[in-house]
Amino acid sequence: MRPSSSPSDGLFGGLSGAPDVDAELSDQSLVQAMLDVQAALARAAADAGILPAPAAEAIVEQCRAERYDPQALGRAADATGNPVVALVAELTAAVPEHARPWVHLGATSQDVLDTALALVAVRALGPLLRHLDAAVAAAAQLADTHRDTVMVARTLGQQAAPTTFGLKAAGWLTGLVEARDRLRQARAAQPAQLGGAVGTLAAFDSAGAEVAERFAAHLGLTPSPLPWHTRRQPWLDLATALGGLLVAAGKAALDVGLLAQNEVGEVAEGGTGRGGSSAMPHKRNPVDSILVTAAAGRGPGLIATLFAAAVHEHERAAGAWHAEWEPLLDLLHLGGGAAARCARMLVGLQVRPERMRENLDATGGVLLAEAVAARLAPAVGRGVAHDLVTRAAAQPSFRAALLADPEIRAHLSDTEIAEALDPSRWLGSAGRFVDRALVAAHGASR
């Protein structure tokens, strides 16, 4: 049998995923998850006294993915609309004759595939969350190190007022921590699915609820109070949590890409030999920023598909269920790649405080216009102060215009103007906000 490839294989997969996450998303991993479901079903039924213990042991023995060909199962799936039917047929043929009547007892294909996807999600989120932990730690380090590193804040694409790089990094940190919290919750809440043909587990008579609870316990998944064949909230919660990760990582990536522009030059991605161009030898592109931004751009469409497919008719859906599988796996793939690349980007980020200060000073202090107006306002009122400072800001040299304006000088001394034009004096609670973000992130890591 030829091993099935993972999502990272191929020309483009390695640009959007992470190998350790994608290893849990491969066809072979999904087949193993479906077989783990079959093994847990046999064990649960045996625990409840429904299935003979020797039959359960024989079924479990054959639940090894290396014995099955995912590509062959995929081809066979065309006849039945899902790969479970073919897998059950092969598993049944593989077990001894005495165990064959007990294979897949009481379950339906959706039980197997929904629960297998829940298992795959739990397993893939393990390495994904480790990458996210690394990104959180790197963002926290940047915020702490650069708590008081002054730089230009930019709003609506324009230079606005002073801020600190620490506060910018604290914003990245908080977004990543919040995304991690939601992913942890979604992972812990992944439910087992066992309802049988129409959600009644009639094949187990009155023992169905007991079997379902034992089934979930064998898999380490959350037991569901009733089958969720047509109640798709677990996938929606997972999808939105993954979307939140893509947004948080995408925010940091977009900022890094903009700050790394030659005209700005306030940060640069690290990594020897990364970022080269096929045509321009001098270029050093922010590759991780670019790829994380790309992943963030793909997420909304996948999430929209899952929400569009979430309304299922009657007891089992025709088509809506089938539409969920690949978008869910794609989201896990993109989330893994975004978390890993965001971590690498932030760990290796080269911060250039001297360039930040150059850009801050480049406009001759006009970025402190709000600070000057605030000092004038108690004497002349906010409206007059705003007009006076606006007039000065229109001159070639803001500082010189302030010093030369008699209406302003009537209320502000040389020292007061100099203090107003000191960006370190117009940072408000930036430092306190950074400290709060670091404390919150430290508490969330526990």
Q: Angle at Cα 196 formed by Cα 192 and Cα 199, nearest 5°?
A: 85
Phi first, then psi: what are they for 305, rounded to 5°? -60, -45
Nearest to 299 by CA among 267, 263, 339, 264: 339
The count of other CB atoms within 10 Å of the CB of residue 311 is 10
Identify whether the C-beta of residue 372 lies closer than 8 Å to the C-beta of residue 402.
yes
Count CA within 13 A, CB hemisphere, residue 406: 0
Identify whether the C-beta of residue 251 lies closer than 8 Å to the C-beta of residue 342.
no
Q: Angle at Cα 334 formed by Cα 333 and Cα 338, nearest 5°?
A: 125
Residue 214 is a catalytic residue: no
CA dist 167 and 187 (Å) reads 30
DSSP string, 135-189: HHHHHHHHHHHTTT-EEEEEETTEEEEEEEHHHHHHHHHHHHHHHHHHHHHHHHT
Candidates 180, 187, 316, 341; catalytic one: 316
Residues 6+ apart with CB under 8 A from 236: 306, 307, 310
CA dist 431 and 426 (Å) reads 11
Tokens linked to 214: 């034992």
CA dist 136 and 132 (Å) reads 6
Tokens linked to 348: 């290796």
Residues forming beta bridges with residue 155, ordered by sequence position: 158
Residue at 120: amino acid letter: V
Residue 277 is a catalytic residue: yes
Candidates 64, 67, 75, 277; catalytic one: 277
**Any idea which residues carry the catalytic annotation?**
277, 316
